[in-house]
Structure 1
């Protein structure tokens, strides 16, 4: 965008359960904005409770984009998000409204602001062998191997994220270089936006307490029934979104592998671990300005207004 002023973009990010939606709603209402979702699970249809999607009332109050746009068995990734996100932003700007990107998926946010690292072409033979090995020996075996060859990569890859574990090992086998080295050399592009990055965080004990309560509330609101409905629709547990936090736990309960109490406890633990990984990713970005979502609310609004002044 040479010779022209870059469009302004507000990004509200942070770990799961911290309170991003409430802040984004208030910011959007204050500046005349619309919210673009940057949560990799909220893009799926039929997955509402466990992903913490905004309520119909919240969506009535402020327009939201990229919520429930694909089925759980459809391919969706950072590259597709990049294209859909840019299109949504351009439509919002065309209406003379402001764009608020809100979510906790760091890779989606980075794809939106700096383009995307694609990496070497996929190799079907290597991928097939790794898939078969995961089926025979378990995904944990591949995760441990990745931990040895690329310990930096596993900081942002969940032990259950089959797709990313296999892709990282595939890249290493194919090129002899670690995925993190490829990403570092790629460097991403200069951002086409002027971005104000608002990070939300709480004291660890406070955040974990909120996460535990949020998981309990999801179960009380019908998460088990939501997962049962997905399984009955034919969405198998091998699908990536069905392996996400909350969904795989309730699926284990429904299969009889554990009690509801055990499933909830594991869901709470894994959600806390997810929050920790998200914070590790975001802390590396020195452009982020950090606030408490409640105590810092007035300061957030002041900073955003100043950004658009």
Structure 2
């Protein structure tokens, strides 16, 4: 739980491409607020198109926090993010502005609401060995092994999610304890006093259509060129920065001599899976859902939210 929040803190969350950024921007303009990013990839400089950062025009009108605070080769964790979030909220409130926390990193939101449960430290010797195994055999055989050793974790991890499969096997090997033991959820927590958490809820087909349009717009804006530039960067991207959806798929597609259309289709599939994973996390949190549909105007959404807030 998050103690000592100033009154009136608002969180806007939801799956990728749901419109969080636009709603947060319009709400900040209406209510004299500032936006604090709840996104594990927007913290990195140079990762611009692939992370859908707010445009320079928006950043000139509304103040943003926790964007572009790290170099791409630096590692970053939830444990490092949460104190920065707390300080940003205090700073915004102390200047008489409304803190609007906006983004879709579910682990950040869980840590903000419930506190952070620290897992075992990384064992890089074991992890690197498992990663090498995954590069050779692919993730599916390792997922089958996880199914036999920790079925609770295997049930929650996609068979092709190499990073999470490796982490689960690493924890099991280094500690002898299934990682799923640390994933038990009780009843949904009650938001701290002074905090309202809103989520944008779309019909699945409409959300998928929005994802497709967003990726096409990113491609036109230079996503492929940005990915190639980052691939050649020295020093290279950190492990955490390299998890950004889009870059890895583009790099692998280039290596396989795939066309841009083929790479975009793989990226669409990956992004749809990611949105489904986000929603699985969010459903266990105390979120007030705003039903979305069609082409809602930003002003109408702000009116709806302001009415709920009683402002």
- With 107-116 and 208-217 compared, the bigger mean Cα shift is at 107-116
Partner residue of 2:308 out of 284, 303, 306: 303
2-side partners of 1:213 and 1:301: how far apart?
Answer: 28
- Distance change >3 Å, CA 147–CA 59, structure 1 → 2: farther
Structure 2 spans left out of the alignment, 5+ residues:
none
Q: Paired residue for 1:94? A: 94
2:266 & 2:2 partners in 1: Cα distance? 50
Counterpart-to-counterpart distance in 1, 2:144 and 2:16: 26
- Residue 287 of structure 2 corresponds to 288
Q: Per-residue displacement from partner, 1:77-125 (whole Å, max 9, x unpaired)?
A: 2111112111211211221212111111110111122221102344455
- Counterpart of 1:47 in structure 2 is 47
CA distance in 1, matches of 2:120, 2:69: 28
Contact 2:49 2:226 in 1 (8 A): yes
Secondary structure at 2:208 match in 1:
helix
In the alignment, structure 1 segments of 5+ residues that lack a partner are none
Q: Secondary structure at the match of 1:270?
A: helix
Rounded to whole Å, the distance in 1 between the matches of 2:170 and 2:120 is 10
Partner of 1:209: 209
Q: More displaced, 53-62 or 288-297?
A: 288-297
Residue 14 of structure 1: CA displacement?
0.4
Shift of 1:38: 0.9
Tell me which residue corresponds to 2:229: 229
The CA RMSD measured in Å over matched residues stands at 3.0
* Correspondence for 1:37: 37
The residue number in structure 1 matching 2:14 is: 14
Alignment map for 1:50-89 (pairs within 5 Å): 50-89=50-89
- Are 1:123 and 1:170, in contact at CA under 8 Å, matched by a contact in 2? yes
Does structure 2 conserve the Cα–Cα contact (< 8 Å) formed by 1:114 and 1:190?
no
- Residue 183 of structure 1 is matched in structure 2 by 183
Deviates more, 1:200-209 or 1:168-177: 168-177
- SS of 1:25 mapped into structure 2: helix
Checking the alignment, whether the CA contact within 8 Å between 2:74 and 2:237 is kept in structure 1 is no
Greater shift in the superposed pair: 260-269 or 137-146: 137-146
Using structure 1 for the length normalisation, give the TM-score: 0.86
Are 2:264 and 1:264 equivalent residues in the alignment?
A: yes
